[in-house]
Structure 1
Amino acid sequence: MRGTTAVVLGGSVAGLCAAGVLARHFDEVIVLERDRLPPDAEHRRGVPQSKHPHFLLNSGRRAIGEIFPGFEEALIAAGGMLLMPSLDAAYCENDGWAPRKSGSMTMIYSSRVLIERVLREKVRELPAIEIREGVTVTGLRTTGGGSAAGRVEGVEFRAGDVDGHLPADLVVDALGRGSSVADWLGAAGWPAPPEKTLDAKVTYTSRWYDLPPADKRPDSWWWQHLVVTPTQDTGAHPDEHDFLSNFFPIEGDRAIVCMGSWGIQMPRQADSFEAAADRVRAAAFGQATRVCTPTSEVHLTRSTGNKWRRYDLLDRPPLGLVSVGDSICAFNPFYAQGMSSAARSALILAELLQARDALDHAFFREFLARQKKSLDVPWMLAMARDQAYDFATGTEIIAPWRRRLAARFSWPVFNAITATSREDAYVERTFAEVFNLDKSLRQMATDPRFWFGIARYKVRQRLGRTVVPGGFDDQQDPPGTDFTDVTRGASHGQPVRSGSRAAR
């Protein structure tokens, strides 16, 4: 039997998604949250990363929508913006501004705090769920630690000055990067789970701004999202040219300006932050920042290493416990995989609870196996970039020759994919599916049609038969020309000749 009571440790995105799943299968679902939860979309101590931009990938949107029907509509009604990045965002790539056109990917832009507020509202619609605030989890109650019958049977907690104990048929660890669950299991007799780690020394810094009133914004602001990728110039240049920079729109006519880097000291004071924004390699980035009104201090984060606790490799993983979100696998936040990966894990839990009646060895083994397969997809993407840095540390660093190959070819391959995506719908769609965790990097790498499309584009490029110009001057405003109709004509065999840098 599954039992009657489930306890979720942590009330952030991962914990709320898990609670939404459990409410369909347990009489009582208790969420223990250390913070006092705000009634509105506000920051709280337990989620310091909420002050930075958050992307909810398509796979995550779908997973949350399955757990909480109507979530997407509720998020948009609360102020989230449904946009098409290829049409509504300006991207500064290797050789300048990329051309603007429609694509297969859409995204809801909002703050992390709004996502959590909407999720909390959805959770509170479910009568089986009780959220207990101001409660600190202090340990686990277990039996038979490390043995074949070893099980987690409940949790210990402190609420104010009172210590307590909650029995549970299932405990979900959603305590995040700093979860102590592995330590508590170790103290109870289980071996420590093997860990895969890689820290590429990413630091990022953000500040919140109010946009100018709509009638006072520059005429050149056709875009809503502005992205400047790191330079690929190996010569001398300012550090800021190596930043990955985002002018990220959120609800309420606001934007989060975020700059990040691999291995570079980042600004943490207001004056140095705005000075750095002015030195980002695309002039429009600093200009946009300067015409907005700052509404926050500068927020800096360094806790960005990739870490995967491999409970699936234990000979006798504990019964009665699953881990989701950053508590099982934390990613470099640059890759926007955390919330979506957590929601995907919750959906796996939902499918197994629907299919199985007993929380036995087979249940937990299958959960760990399926979760591992799901986490492999974003983990491989994170490794593909972070392993290229010689200052990276951790268990997943690679041999110097492999690192040199990764550093040498990752940008040229990325450039070829993004250029081809302008004119080849299959390549564009496949790359979007990989970005959104709907396909793995391995699937893309072994797809003959994908690589044929890139090869064909490169040949056409050499022959001067590409359709869409690229490389618009990054010292000028991003061009607003919509090339969608031009690319549609090309897809019907009507190529239009143009030089690759024609429209500077």
Structure 2
Amino acid sequence: MAGMRLGTTAVVLGGSAAGLCAAGALSPHFDQVVVLERDELPANAEHRRGVPQSKHPHFLLNSGRRAIGELFPGFEDELIAAGGLHLMPSMDAAYLDGEGWSARKRGSMTMIYGSRLLIERVLRDHVRKLANVVVREGVSVNGLCARDGEINGVNFTSATGDEHVEADLVVDAMGRGSPVASWLVAAGWPEPQVQTLDAKVTYTSRWYELPEKPPASWWWRHLVIMPTQHKGEHPAEHEFLVNFFPIEGNRAIACMGSWGHEMPRTAETFARSARRVRTPLFAAAMDRCTPVSEVHLTRSTGNKWRRYDRWATPPRRLVFVGDSICAFNPFYAQGISSAASSALLLREHLSRAERVDAAFSAQFLAAQRKLLTVPWRLALARDRGYACAGGTEKVSEWKRRLVAAVSGPAFSFIVGAAREYPVVDEHFAKVFNLDESLGDMMTNPRVLAGLLRYRIRTALGRHRIPFGFDPLAEPPATDYSTASAASR
């Protein structure tokens, strides 16, 4: 094949979503791609030790959908055929923000809902079709082989003993806990600078089977309850971010998360907390469904960026994708999409390269830095406002108070303007889906004009689309799309 010109063997460390996307990116450019994975990978959509976050909701953002679709043509159709749900959140989600429910209307954003298990199963199916990709399961990677500033092999242990594979390129896709940085330091590279911000996010989930015949009032498929902005006395649960998240197989994941609060760990405490959130609809939905799992809790949620791009001489023949280089607060649903986008970026750089040398490493890291900066800034924009947050990117107390005072109301204001003005909706959807930076959106003259018009109309009490429907009542099913279209 014409594309196989950069070497004999590429090795991917890790067979999760990031590693599978990397394998797809490498396949056209090396004779053989070897994926080394610690777990035994299931044939079907099943939980495994190496992906504890699979027990929680996963949004596949549009940028990630597109990137995976480029790496694996047909992925989206196969995900839907396997049970993924193609929905329009503004029409199919009941959304509680500010003082009450938002109105339903058609919007510019669609999403595919499904479990992390399903996403990875469809990815694995695609990788297994690549004739030059070999997935070695049940192996433990022990270290890298380095010589004269470059990585040229990987040591690992399999069921039969210690093994070694020579490599023309190695991709670290081993996630948040990747030991590669320590191996590089042991080989003579400096300790990489690490930027961190941990807002003490904890989230807890339980899986449910939906009723065969949902109540007539369930026009919605997805239920979202945003944290209150009310500063007075209220239960801690009013500050939870809550989802009743639809997935394949007529199931849903009930999830509650918070910044800095203790979260329920048992079925009994989970049910009690659910009854104290801002609307009775969440607990009522759970009551009508059948639990099919235990309660799963996750705490490893800090933002963490290993700044390999700041090394004067990064190792040749080594790149990083996914959480191994930049991990995000999972609340913002950026992980899989950022990993897939990095893998697609890698394929683009490989397609232009004549060799995997120092120039390739530097150019790829620089381009990846630009790509990662967008989700990184978006994650920090809110997490910096929490008093419980700590890390290198923690800001001074006065700045924190400013962020805390501004970020929540600003988000709600933009959401409100997006209800009324399609141009704001379009660009806000791009920001949410990592297709545009928040800075670019907020300097767009058409967006600014829409925000200004919304501010004026708010002051005059002249909204085209009502909002703030009683959170103690059922969310209204009325479609206000015509009123939205009139605001163009």
Q: Secondary structure at the match of 1:303?
A: coil
1:387-398 alignment, distance < 5 Å: 387-398=384-395
Counterpart-to-counterpart distance in 2, 1:402 and 1:447: 25
1:150-169 alignment, distance < 5 Å: 150-160=149-159, 162-169=161-168
Task: Give 1:464 shift.
Answer: 2.9
Aligned 8 A contact 2:422 2:484 in 1: no
The CA deviation string for residues 275-326 of structure 1, in whole angstroms up to 9 with x for no partner, is 1111111111111111110000000000000000000000110001001000
The code of the aligned residue for 1:160 comes to A
Which of 407, 415, 418 is equivalent to 2:404? Answer: 407
Counterpart-to-counterpart distance in 2, 1:490 and 1:244: 30
Task: State whether structure 2 residue 373 is matched by structure 1 residue 376.
Answer: yes
The residue that corresponds to 1:246 in the other structure is 243
The CA deviation string for residues 375-417 of structure 1, in whole angstroms up to 9 with x for no partner, is 0000000000100112211000011111111011111211211
Which of 330, 333, 336 is equivalent to 2:330? Answer: 333
Counterpart-to-counterpart distance in 1, 2:458 and 2:395: 34
Counterpart-to-counterpart distance in 2, 1:168 and 1:9: 12
Task: State whether structure 2 residue 306 is matched by structure 1 residue 309.
Answer: yes
Counterpart-to-counterpart distance in 2, 1:298 and 1:391: 24
The code of the aligned residue for 2:276 comes to R
Q: Secondary structure at the match of 1:72?
A: helix
The CA deviation string for residues 100-137 of structure 1, in whole angstroms up to 9 with x for no partner, is 00000000000000000000000011101000100110
The residue that corresponds to 2:223 in the other structure is 226
The CA deviation string for residues 401-459 of structure 1, in whole angstroms up to 9 with x for no partner, is 11111011111211211111111001011111000000011212222321221111121
Counterpart-to-counterpart distance in 2, 1:201 and 1:490: 40
Counterpart-to-counterpart distance in 2, 1:371 and 1:172: 14
1:291-370 alignment, distance < 5 Å: 291-370=288-367
Task: State whether structure 2 residue 119 is matched by structure 1 residue 115.
Answer: yes
Counterpart-to-counterpart distance in 1, 2:36 and 2:334: 24
The code of the aligned residue for 2:321 comes to V
TM-score calculated relative to the size of structure 1? 0.95
The code of the aligned residue for 1:307 comes to K
Task: State whether structure 2 residue 284 is matched by structure 1 residue 287.
Answer: yes
Measured on the aligned residues, the alpha-carbon RMSD in Å equals 0.8
The residue that corresponds to 1:426 in the other structure is 423
Counterpart-to-counterpart distance in 1, 2:483 and 2:394: 44
Which of 82, 88, 104 is equivalent to 2:86? Answer: 82
Task: Give 1:160 shift.
Answer: 2.1
Q: Secondary structure at the match of 1:248?
A: strand
Counterpart-to-counterpart distance in 1, 2:459 and 2:52: 48
Counterpart-to-counterpart distance in 1, 2:439 and 2:457: 27
Greater alpha carbon shift after TM alignment, 135-144 vs 62-71: 135-144
Q: Structure 1 stretches (4+) deviating beyond 4 angstroms?
A: none
Task: Give 1:192 shift.
Answer: 1.3
Q: Secondary structure at the match of 1:392?
A: coil
Counterpart-to-counterpart distance in 1, 2:366 and 2:206: 40
The residue that corresponds to 1:473 in the other structure is 470
Which of 37, 41, 45 is equivalent to 1:41? Answer: 45
The code of the aligned residue for 1:21 comes to A
Counterpart-to-counterpart distance in 2, 1:2 and 1:487: 52
Q: Secondary structure at the match of 2:153?
A: strand
Task: Give 1:488 shift.
Answer: 1.5
The residue that corresponds to 1:188 in the other structure is 187
TM-score calculated relative to the size of structure 2? 0.98
The residue that corresponds to 1:498 in the other structure is none
The residue that corresponds to 1:64 in the other structure is 68
Counterpart-to-counterpart distance in 1, 2:129 and 2:376: 34
Counterpart-to-counterpart distance in 1, 2:461 and 2:239: 31
The residue that corresponds to 2:445 in the other structure is 448
Q: Which runs of 5+ in 1 are unaligned?
A: 145-149, 492-504
Task: Give 1:161 shift.
Answer: 5.0
The residue that corresponds to 1:129 in the other structure is 133
The code of the aligned residue for 2:381 comes to A
Q: Secondary structure at the match of 1:279?
A: coil
1:195-274 alignment, distance < 5 Å: 195-214=194-213, 217-274=214-271
Counterpart-to-counterpart distance in 1, 2:476 and 2:263: 30
Greater alpha carbon shift after TM alignment, 404-413 vs 237-246: 404-413
Task: Give 1:327 shift.
Answer: 0.2
Task: Give 1:465 shift.
Answer: 2.4
The code of the aligned residue for 2:288 comes to V
The residue that corresponds to 2:7 in the other structure is 3
Q: Secondary structure at the match of 1:24?
A: helix
Q: Secondary structure at the match of 1:411?
A: helix
Q: Which runs of 5+ in 2 are unaligned?
A: none
Greater alpha carbon shift after TM alignment, 232-241 vs 437-446: 437-446
Which of 65, 86, 107 is equivalent to 1:103? Answer: 107
Q: Secondary structure at the match of 1:264?
A: coil
Q: Secondary structure at the match of 1:490?
A: coil
Q: Secondary structure at the match of 2:140?
A: strand
